[in-house]
Amino acid sequence: MRRNAAIIGASAAGLLVLAGCTPAVPAAVDAPPAQETSAVTQTQIDRIVPATFAELQAADKAKDVEKLGTRVGGAAVRIRGVEYQLAKAGDKAAIEEIPSTMQAVYVSADETFPRIMVGVTAAPDGATPVVAMWLQEDVNSDYQLVEWAHMVPGATLPAMPGTAVGSAQLPLDTDTVTPSPKQVVEDYVQLLREGNKSEKAPEFAKDTYRERLFAARKVLNAAAEKGDGSYSDFIDTRMSDTYAMATADGGALVFTPLTVKSSLKVKNGATVSISDADKALVNGKLKDKVTHTYRDFIVIHIPANADEKPVVVAADHHLIKVEAK
Amino acid sequence: MTLRTTALIAGALGLLLLIGGLIADATRPASFGTPHAALDTPILVIGPELVAMAPGGSITIEGDGGIVAYSARTADAEAWAASRDATQVTGVPTWDDLATAPVAASEPSASPSASASASTSPSASASPAANASSSPAASASASPEPSASAQPAIADIWRDSWDGDGTLTLETDKLPVGLTIVAESADGAPLTDVSMTIDRVVNDGWIAPLKWWGGILAVVGLIALISLLIDHRGAGTKVEEAVASRKTAAPATPGSRRERRETATATGGIPIVTGEDDPTTGEVPVAEEHPASRWAPTTGEIPVQDVQDAAGEGDDAPPAEGTDEGEDRA
């Protein structure tokens, strides 16, 4: 009896000793923060940008829009297709040069979709740098170059957070900037529609984009009057394709597309005429009315200081369709 | 308690300690654990908190073909895996097992919620040709697997990628901190197993001292035991002590065989005839008072009592050589 108790005691002690050797499973730890919180880092940018320009250059070389679609999408395909069409018709300057070298890249820090990435290229020959916008529709999509616009002469882009951190993509109705991106776009479209006499004109700093638009409107109005006709234009935007990105100082960059339709109609048997470069795009036979459709893209800087006026820092006016009716 | 006894007890304890140390050494757990889990999906998701649990360790993913692993922000990885047949490693409950669970499908409204423009963007009418060629086709074919894995270049949500054939081992120290790891079979076939190598601090610092001290004490005890069995005294001392240790034999029982032998020895082999056996008179002879009258000149008889006394008087003397007395004492 006494011997059995001793054996049991020794066994228990042995088990305790052995149990003491085995540590517990490590406890769960909190996920450490990522070192780079942006949606895309420089590593990813270095894959996206070259792939984009490789596709673009291949399409440019072949003047074949079918070669686009993987890394170049959205309105950029449409615009580039028109440029190829014009180039094939003999317009050697139709295809815009978009340098593949980036001066800066602004990326989103958001975890939601769609996301944007903005690159500022080196300045092409005889032109200002290009602001190009990539869009990632959803988690299963890759970034596509969808819009671009040359910087307005004299404009400067604000400082932006680096690629390791990224910028917040702001809701269009955010109150972090005043006025909100949505309000700015709506007001600017109203200004474009109404011209320099608009009540919204004092709310924006001067820019060459609207000056050229107003100048063209004036010329076309004069031409229409000469033919006893009329001129009208229709300017609209799509908020669904408008994005805002926070700047480093608390302001915002707003990227918005514009659709501009300008119609010229003459009477008394007169016939409208268009430039030779645009004739390749004419759909139908030119008679007394012609409508040009443009796909524009503008970038507006809303300063963090509400006392400063929003200003257009980049804008392009791309002809995408000419209708002879 | 003598020094030898103390050493013997210490030796016994040392032997126990040595045995305990050897058993503990033999059953000591490895310095790292390798919990694992079987898989049956082509995609595996390992969060950054799991990677952080195994500093200096590794993650091994096994499959029947090519395996590609990516790193991505956790939100992106989870959103990507939510529409696919994926398994997520959720914890390390034991040193042998990894806990896993299917990746929960995300709500479709999750991503557009932060932006009013998101919900309507797919219906953009500006470039119907572009929409038709990119987004619908991509989202439709990506979910069930092979098309997504067959992409020659990795998708934009992935930051880094690693690949292997059959087995892919990732060292956790070389993985980006704070990112989720997603592994995918290249051909869409299910992965078979995932295991993690996690360093564990085994409390075994006492085993070596236990063995050493147990061994030392056991040797001490062994020496004591050997010294107990070996008699180190000189040969002369041994003999003297052996002789001195012998005790005086007890008197022989009257009438016993020993007593008769002793009597015969005392009389020098002359037979003794008792009084009753006197064939001539049948009388019992009377013992004389004086030693000089002990001998009967006429009969030559010797009084029995005297003979016995004479024999008894010699008990203290050493037994004569050749007698049985020494044997009896022995």
Flag if A48 and B156 touch (Cβ within 8 Å). yes
Flag if A142 and B130 touch (Cβ within 8 Å). no
Q: For chain A, how long is the longest CA-to-CA vector?
A: 129
A26 domain residue, yes or no: no
Question: How confident is the model at residue B162, as a pLDDT?
Answer: 95
A51 domain residue, yes or no: yes
Residue B184, min C-alpha distance to chain A (Å): 15
Q: What are phi and psi of B205, to 5 degrees?
A: -70, -20
Question: How confident is the model at residue B291, as a pLDDT?
Answer: 52
Which residue from B28, B135, B198 is facing A137, i.e. has the nearest CB? B135
A24 domain residue, yes or no: no
Question: How confident is the model at residue A67, as a pLDDT?
Answer: 96
Residue B8: alpha-carbon gap to chain centroid: 23
B122 domain residue, yes or no: no
Looking at mean pLDDT, say which of B19-23, B57-61, B303-307 comes out highest.
B57-61
Please name which of A246, A69, A60, A253 lies closest in space to residue A146, comparing C-alpha atoms: A69
Give A68's contacts in chain B (Cβ within 8 Å). Answer: 130
Question: What is the residue-wise DSSP string for B285-309?
Answer: PPPPSSGGGSS-TTT----HHHHHH
B134 domain residue, yes or no: no
* Judgement on whether residues B170 and B99 belong to the same structural domain of the protein: yes
* Judgement on whether residues B186 and B70 belong to the same structural domain of the protein: yes
B33-89 pLDDT per residue, tens: 899 999 999 999 999 999 998 888 999 999 999 999 999 999 999 999 999 999 999
Q: What is the Cα–Cα distance from A311 to A131, expressed in whole angstroms? A: 15
Residue A219, min C-alpha distance to chain B (Å): 28
Q: What is the Cα–Cα distance from A110 to A120, expressed in whole angstroms? A: 20
Residue A197, min C-alpha distance to chain B (Å): 31
B194-217 pLDDT per residue, tens: 999 998 777 777 888 888 999 999
User: Which has more confidence, B279 or A156?
Assistant: A156
B188 domain residue, yes or no: yes
B306 domain residue, yes or no: yes
* Judgement on whether residues B174 and B299 belong to the same structural domain of the protein: no
The sign one gets for the Cα dihedral A239, A251, A119, B71 is negative
Please name which of B104, B106, B105, B101 lies closest in space to residue B40, comparing C-alpha atoms: B101
* Judgement on whether residues B66 and B79 belong to the same structural domain of the protein: yes
Confidence of residue B283 (pLDDT cuts 50, 70, 90): low
> Average pLDDT, stretch B19-33?
81
* Judgement on whether residues B39 and B56 belong to the same structural domain of the protein: yes
Taking CA–CA distances from B156, the nearest residue in chain A reads A142
B130 domain residue, yes or no: no
* Judgement on whether residues B52 and B180 belong to the same structural domain of the protein: yes
Give Cα separations from A13 to A7, A19, A102 (angstroms): 10, 10, 71
Give B133's contacts in chain A (Cβ within 8 Å). Answer: 69
At residue B136, does pLDDT exceed 90?
A: no
Question: How confident is the model at residue A118, as a pLDDT?
Answer: 97
* Judgement on whether residues B77 and B16 belong to the same structural domain of the protein: no
Residue A59: alpha-carbon gap to chain centroid: 21
Question: How confident is the model at residue B119, as a pLDDT?
Answer: 29
- Domain with A156, as residue range(s), is 42-323
Exposure b/e, B259-282, CB count within 10 A at least 16 = b:
eeebbebbeeeeebeeeeeeeeee
Give B52's contacts in chain A (Cβ within 8 Å). Answer: 29-32
Question: How confident is the model at residue B123, as a pLDDT?
Answer: 29
Taking CA–CA distances from B94, the nearest residue in chain A reads A25
Give Cα separations from B46 to A196, B78, B103, B158, B245 (angstroms): 58, 10, 11, 14, 87
Residue A114: alpha-carbon gap to chain centroid: 12
- Count how many domains chain A has: 1
Interface of B with A in 188-217 (CB under 8 A): 198, 200-204, 207
Which residue from A18, A34, A78 is facing B73, i.e. has the nearest CB? A34
- Count how many domains chain B has: 3
A298 domain residue, yes or no: yes
* % chain B with pLDDT above 90: 36
Flag if A14 and B95 touch (Cβ within 8 Å). no
A36 domain residue, yes or no: no
| Residue B230 structure tokens | 């070996």
- Domain with B222, as residue range(s), is 3-28+204-229
B110 domain residue, yes or no: no
* Judgement on whether residues B88 and B42 belong to the same structural domain of the protein: yes
The torsion region of residue B99 among left (phi > 0), alpha (psi -120 to 50) and beta comes to beta
* Judgement on whether residues B74 and B62 belong to the same structural domain of the protein: yes
Flag if A77 and B130 touch (Cβ within 8 Å). yes
Whether the CB of B157 is below 8 Å from some CB of chain A: the reply is yes
B219-253 pLDDT per residue, tens: 999 998 888 888 777 777 777 777 777 766 677 78
Which residue from A20, A77, A140 is facing B138, i.e. has the nearest CB? A140
A22 domain residue, yes or no: no
Q: What is the Cα–Cα distance from A8 to A28, expressed in whole angstroms? A: 37
Q: What is the Cα–Cα distance from B110 to A143, expressed in whole angstroms? A: 20
B136 domain residue, yes or no: no
Question: How confident is the model at residue A8, as a pLDDT?
Answer: 66
Exposure b/e, B218-240, CB count within 10 A at least 16 = b:
bebbeebeeeeeeeeeeeeeeee
A307 domain residue, yes or no: yes
Whether the Cβ atoms of residue A165 and residue A38 lie closer than 8 Å to each other? yes
* Judgement on whether residues B308 and B268 belong to the same structural domain of the protein: yes
Residue A169, min C-alpha distance to chain B (Å): 9
* Judgement on whether residues B73 and B39 belong to the same structural domain of the protein: yes
User: Which has more confidence, B123 or A297?
Assistant: A297
Q: What is the Cα–Cα distance from B58 to B198, expressed in whole angstroms? A: 7
* Judgement on whether residues B67 and B182 belong to the same structural domain of the protein: yes
B242 domain residue, yes or no: no
DSSP helix/strand/coil, A172? coil
Helix intervals (H) in A63-170 = 75-88
User: Across all residues in chain B, what is the average pLDDT?
Assistant: 73
How would you classify the pairing of strands A282-283 and A311-323? parallel
Q: What is the Cα–Cα distance from B55 to B198, expressed in whole angstroms? A: 7
At residue B315, does pLDDT exceed 50?
A: no
pLDDT mean values, one per 10 residues, chain A (325 residues): 64 58 75 90 95 97 95 96 93 92 95 95 93 96 96 94 95 94 97 95 95 94 86 93 96 97 87 83 85 96 93 95 87
Q: What is the Cα–Cα distance from A310 to A202, expressed in whole angstroms? A: 10
